[in-house]
Amino acid sequence: MKISKCILSIVFLTFTAGCSNYYTKQLVKENKSALPILIKNVHIFNGKDSSLVLNKDVLVENGFIERITEHSKTKNDQTYHIIDGNGKTLMPGLIDAHVHLSGSGAVPWENVSADETYNLKAYLHSGITTVFDLGGMASDIEKLSQEVGKGELLGPTIYHSHIPITVKNGHPIPLTKEILGWPLRSFINMLAPTIEKADDAEKVIQEYLEENVDYVKIIYDRIPPDSPVMSYDVLQALIDQAHGKGYKVFVHIGSPQNAVDAVNAGADILAHGVWRGKLTPGQADIIASSKVPIIYTLAAFQNVNNINKGEYYPEGIDTLLVPKIILDPVTGAKGLDVESQKTMKAFFDDVTDKSQFLFDNFTLLKERNVQFILGTDSSLPGTYAGSTYLQEIDALKAYGLSNFEILSGATHLPSKLFLDNPDFGTVEVGKKADLLLINGNPLENLELIKSPETILQNGNIIVKVEK
């Protein structure tokens, strides 16, 4: 079985990787300096506190924050690469807590193969220095992760699951078949880990963990709406087995009952907001009392709804980061071509029909102080690497989150989702130098984080190059 999976992984990678001719913009490059970096007289948003720490000098060396001190004139400045932080804010790099690096974002009727290296650069271009992949081939994503870690590939730090655990013909199998097309659609049933009964949970989780994942992802939802979904007892058994092995569990949900069942079964994180139906105050109370954070992916639902109605028009950041060959088929009336795709159309129609519930459901949860984590579900049709994250910021702001809640949900809070002591997500001595230097105060003006003056990833200055 392992040999056949290995062969299928190679086939999958061959068909999905690298069509770089579609991606013409060289977005970022790495500028390595032999000198330690000293950011002088800068304010700090540490990711945790709702006010800035004022006028500090921050020393970055060997990829980490070596020292944070009161600002003073530094002797022997020639021994440092000096960055003037006057009037600026240093904050943690952003975290996209829900990505699919092996997706291109293209629609099935105008399919384009994924270019994972370009996706990574697009995230980094947007100030995203860490991503959590929630549904690719673990071996392929791990290879990307190692290449980034060794400096062989430019991009954010990667953590990952494997293809999510589901039931036979459950999500993501039907939609993935349609997106991938032939010949990959014939392989997806062999690649996707599925479960039939609760007694199989131990074996399924053991095999899943052998993929060297950082966390487990389970599907507890129906896409399309008439597809099968696992039973509660199977969900409970899978979560118990994962927890017994020391792993946190992300559960993909859709309906209010999905969400309630997931938190009752012990889910650690809900992937996607509650959208398929009206949430009651009682259900919101149960979700809130569980203290389980939610990666809401509002922008994804909004984009899918707009594409389905023929009303999607890319924003400026989309046209910068996403190739025309991917955007054109969903722009304006062209998006109505989704009619040709049975499974995707059923899903899009469901999103459009249920979009009326998004705001009220979100508000019920917000009123109960549920933690909202920033994530995008990119790159899939309607969600794109880097650019959709900036849309998500706008969407959460429009739905009533404060600047601090959004910034914390983009930095410190996601860093703690599955790690007890992460080395990223805050600005503190000993943490990785994944940092953004913002020209102003993002707690007062959230728009500023969309155009960071300087991006540091693993202590390296990232320089944008536009073609």
Same domain, 295 and 217: yes
Q: Specify the pLDDT at position 119.
A: 95
Distance CA 76, CA 190 (A): 62
Q: Specify the pLDDT at position 4.
A: 43
**Residue 46 domain-assigned (yes or no):** yes
Which residue in this structure is represented by tokens 């805050």?
Answer: 426
Q: Find, among 460, 464, 463, 462, the residue nearest to 60 by Cα.
A: 460
In one-letter notation, the amino acid at residue 148 is V
Distance CA 159, CA 216 (A): 11
Distance CA 153, CA 147 (A): 5
Name the DSSP class of 245.
Answer: T
**Which residue range is the domain that position 120 belongs to?**
94-415
Q: Find, among 256, 111, 122, 99, the residue nearest to 180 by Cα.
A: 111
Same domain, 260 and 397: yes
Distance CA 107, CA 80 (A): 48
Same domain, 217 and 328: yes
DSSP string of 304-357?
HHHHHTT-----HHHHHHS-HHHHGGGSGGGGGGGGG-HHHHHHHHHHHHHGGG
Name the DSSP class of 269.
Answer: E
pTM assigned to the model: 0.94
Q: Find, among 119, 122, 27, the residue nearest to 467 by Cα.
A: 27
Domain at 157, CATH number: 3.20.20.140
Q: Specify the pLDDT at position 93.
A: 98
Q: Specify the pLDDT at position 17.
A: 39
Same domain, 258 and 373: yes
Same domain, 178 and 56: no
**Residue 232 domain-assigned (yes or no):** yes
Same domain, 357 and 283: yes
Q: Are 27 and 465 in contact (CB under 8 A)?
A: yes
**Residue 17 domain-assigned (yes or no):** no
3-state secondary structure at position 360: helix
**Residue 274 domain-assigned (yes or no):** yes
Same domain, 86 and 102: no
- Please say whether the dihedral angle defined by the alpha carbons of residues 180, 185, 190 and 192, taken in this order, is positive or negative: positive
Strands (E), 104-219: 128-133, 157-160, 216-219
Same domain, 380 and 274: yes
Same domain, 37 and 153: no
Q: Specify the pLDDT at position 425.
A: 98
Domain at 446, CATH number: 2.30.40.10
Same domain, 403 and 460: no
- The torsion angles phi and psi of 299, rounded to 5 degrees, stand at -60, -35
Same domain, 72 and 49: yes
**Residue 155 domain-assigned (yes or no):** yes
Low pLDDT (below 70) residues in the chain: 1-33, 73-78, 181-189, 465-467
**Residue 21 domain-assigned (yes or no):** no
Q: Specify the pLDDT at position 78.
A: 67
**Residue 4 domain-assigned (yes or no):** no
**Residue 295 domain-assigned (yes or no):** yes
Distance CA 315, CA 338 (A): 21
- Number of structural domains (the chain) is 2
